[in-house]
A and B are shown apart, each in its own frame.
Chain A
Amino acid sequence: MDPSEVEFLAEKEHVKIVPNFTQDTIYLISGDIGPFVAGLPVCVPLWLAVNLKQRQKCRVVPPDWMTLEVLQEKKQAEMDSRFFTEMPSPFYIEITQLLLQCATDDIPRADEIRTLIKDIWDLRIAKLRSSVDVFIKSEESHAKLNFLTLMEINTVREFLTKGLDHMHQLKSNLNGGGMASNSQFL
């Protein structure tokens, strides 16, 4: 899966915007959006928010978790815990990325938020890597990881599945090798 496909899925998440125009409800298959009243906050999918913002038609209200305090707390919790902690949004990195790209002026202290999110991401990826390593070394056949987000899984997906494939082959050599080769020669 490509990261841009993950981003596509993330664009279905809802964010709050304050439009500066008035328009009736838009009826879409995925649900109704609006009605838009200038100056009144409304919830729209991320893709629409990005589009309206690019056309200067709205102001984005940053999600509750996109503040320095919440993210600093989150980062500390992530550092203290041995396991993955639950993220405020399953698409936290994608939403931050998109909003910080187009709506920097609406988000207070955008630079620090970008750094914090990146720190949290790095912490989680490092954690993910060491759990993958423990998993491979322990020769278990399954493991459970809570609170991993799609983008995080996606970066190790191909590597992990190939690695497990390889290990499975080596293991099945070891377990069934002798018997299977005998039966072939009969």
Chain B
Amino acid sequence: MAAYSVDLSTGNNYFDLNDILASQEKIPCIFNIAVEGLGYLDQSTPDPDIGVGTKLELPLWLAKYLHRDARGIVSVETPKTYREGYRQILAADPSVVDLHRLGPHFYLGGGKLALFNLPDIQDVLKTLLQTFQGRFRRIMDGSQNALHTDLTNQINMLDESERRLFAAGQRGLLEFQSWESRESEKLSTSSVVLNQRKRKWVGACRDSGD
């Protein structure tokens, strides 16, 4: 991820799958001009055209190019999960919020909103940073402490980038544990060889052939 990391504020990171997934998030848009023949996008009307003032949810990557400046084809609103109400919830206690439900790529998608000149964008970005700082301790403690407990509930509440962080923390702990219990000095079969099923198939074919 880091190798091809592009300035996130420009919203593009061509080689990052998560970045691509995050740009699929739908954001609410209002059409400023009428568009002929695209009425099928708005399934609530039988009208063949899209009229001025139609509200539609468009994916972020599309909205980005339709919203060039103030006179663009669409104007963009802040998505619900980043609005004042949710921001207050996050400010109250970030560590208990189910971020994955608010958006699997909450941080990445939120950062991409900087592309649009939203009036409250500074507050949104500030909330993202504070949310992460507030949740960091729990992620760290969860990933570094509990080895034999069921963490599914906690992991479910993390957004995708936090999950990667959590996995990294657990990896560190597990590696240390296996060193401490002298597991790591034992030679073991590489997982590549173990998972390679081709060789087994060859054997199986020969057996059935005989």
Contacts and interface: CB of A to CB of B under 8 A. Distances in A.
B164 A177 contact: no
B111 A3 contact: no
B184 A177 contact: no
A113 to B, nearest CB: 15
A89 interface: no
Contact of B132 (A3, A156, A166, A178): A166
Interface string B150-167: 000000000001001100
B172 A155 contact: yes
A167 interface: yes
A129 B9 contact: no
Contacts of A3: 175-176, 178-180, 184
A109 interface: no
A165 interface: yes
Nearest to A180: B9
A146 interface: no
B137 interface: yes
Given A101-B182, A173-B9, A167 B132 contact: yes
A7 B10 CA distance: 43
Contacts of A170: 107, 111, 125, 128-129, 132
B68 A185 contact: yes
Contacts of A132: 140
A172 interface: yes
Given A7-B179, A180-B9, A185-B68, A159 B169 contact: yes
A170 B161 CA distance: 12
A167 B140 CA distance: 14
B147 interface: no
Contacts of A133: 136-137, 140
Interface stretch (B35-43, B48-56, B114-122, B200-208): B114-122
A133 B169 CA distance: 14
Interface string B132-150: 1100110111011000000
Interface in A78-114: 97, 101
11 contacts: A2-B179, A4-B179, A4-B184, A4-B185, A129-B141, A154-B172, A159-B143, A163-B165, A170-B125, A181-B114, A184-B115
A12 interface: no
Main secondary structure of the interface of B (DSSP, over half): helix
B161 to A, nearest CB: 6
A159 B172 CA distance: 7
Contact of A159 (B11, B125, B133, B168): B168
A151 B179 CA distance: 11
Contacts of A173: 8-9, 110-111, 114, 125, 128
A162 interface: yes
Contact of B133 (A137, A154, A174): A137
Taking each of B173, B176, B182, B184, which has the highest tally of chain A beta carbons within 10 Å of its own beta carbon?
Answer: B176
B136 A163 contact: yes
A166 B108 CA distance: 10
A172 B114 CA distance: 11
A19 B38 CA distance: 88
